[in-house]
Structure 1
Amino acid sequence: MSRPPTDYAAAREAILRTEIAYNTEKNILPSVIKVAEGLLSRGLELSEAYREVHAKLGTKHQALTMFFDGLLNTAAFWSPTKLTTAREKRSRLDNLNNEIAKKAGELAVLLEKRSNLNGQDGFYSHTHYDVLEVMEVAARHNSFYEMHVSEKVRALRGLYDLRYWPSLGEFVNTLAMDAREAVVEASNPLTAAGTASKRASQADFSGIMEQLPQT
């Protein structure tokens, strides 16, 4: 037998007040407290939404508690402003990868041209040409490299000449290809759901809500 609406409201209020009391006592998560207080004050306004929640989870106290915990944390830490910021960061990362792909591709071409010109007609620029040598110079301030790796790398350089290693141009071109083919993805389901659309919309919050725990 289902519980009457008044029982549902009491259960919801008890969960929210418990959350407020706990965070207040521990002096933590003021944003969550603010959201919980807001939900309590808007009980009438949100009654239809609550009715749907209780219709599905009302007889399962643990599921109901998990739902409101997810709701509070989502509303506190994934506001529309924060979702907009996250979307902007994704866009910046995309732009950076595009820029790296372009610049690294250009650098790869220049390195190959320089490599071809070096030694021609009696001229040589005395620049790096060995990818392992570049790695050694770049790691000269890395004590772990010096203590554990450098000797082995030098031994490899002595055993295998340049024919066995990628050229600097090939090395940099690989970085260009990597950036060009990169796909920016969210590192967690909530971020993915909240930024699925290209522009901010009501669907952002709906997407996040679908990721909240349900049983």
Structure 2
Amino acid sequence: MISRGLELRSVYQELEQSLGFGGIEWKIFLEFCVLATGAHWTPEKSIADRAARKRLDKVNEAIADLADQLAELLDERDEINNRGPFSSATLHHPVEVIDRACQRNGHYQSFLKERLESLCQFDLKYWPSLSEMVRVIGADAEKADVQSHDPRSAAMSQTSRPSVADFVRAIEEGIAENQHSGLGGLPASFRLSDESIATLANVLLNLSAKSGKDAKYVKNIRERDRRRT
């Protein structure tokens, strides 16, 4: 931003007109909307986030498939144990599973173990079977709706392919996140012009004059997103 300061002059002028330089609003904008976005919501992160989202979908699908298989095997094992001449001394009570899984969990050992074990007085008819629990896990994974808990990452992954538009949306979302007027944030009415958003994207992404974006590019993104909502 320092080396390309001349390009940012019009942005600073717009900030002075809309926010002024007497308070902290312009500092909030530069620090939390501009610098933070440029440092942490890069095109590389956008690509990585998209890959993580696709992988999470596949992992949930695999869990759903494997849960069905495991549940069937657990049911089959119960039938053999209960009806055949052979049985295996395997886990069958949910509390036993939790207790075995928490052997190295000091918090469990200190605070939950005694209370949970007292519930073992209830017969198995009061508890779900292991296969039923596994099926619930599988059904939950199958219907999972993958969403981002980070608004800027969500904004950058709206489309299937990464582009400069992702970064434009991240800047916009950064502004929206910090619009809490009266609480040390940006005014609810604050809106940066298409030209200033384009300039910030060009500078923060270090785009050349040939590959840089203009106000029309940003305007098209904003109009497209507005129609989508």
- Give the TM-score normalised by the residue count of structure 2: 0.67
Q: Aligned equivalents of 1:132 and 1:112: distance in 2?
A: 18
Asked which structure has the greater RCO (Cα within 8 Å, sep 6+), the reply is 2
Describe how 1:1-215 pairs up with structure 2 within 5 A: 36-40=1-5, 43-44=6-7, 50=11, 53-54=14-15, 57=18, 59=20, 62-69=24-31, 70-158=33-121, 160-211=122-173, 212=175, 213=178, 214-215=186-187
Count of residues paired in the alignment: 175
* CA spacing shift, 1:209–1:163, aligned 2, 3 Å: same
Q: CA deviation at 1:57?
A: 2.2
The letter of the residue matching 1:74 is T
Q: Aligned equivalents of 2:157 and 2:21: distance in 1?
A: 30
* CA spacing shift, 1:56–1:199, aligned 2, 3 Å: farther
Is the radius of gyration larger for structure 1 or structure 2? 1
More helix by share: 1
Q: Aligned equivalents of 1:56 and 1:193: distance in 2?
A: 28
Q: CA deviation at 1:144?
A: 2.7
The letter of the residue matching 1:110 is L
Over the aligned positions, Cα root-mean-square deviation in angstroms equals 2.4
Q: Aligned equivalents of 1:152 and 1:58: distance in 2?
A: 58
Deviations 1:56-99 (A, max 9, x none): 62646544333322212211222111111122112222221111
Q: Which ranges of structure 1 fall in alignment gaps of 5 or more residues?
A: 1-35
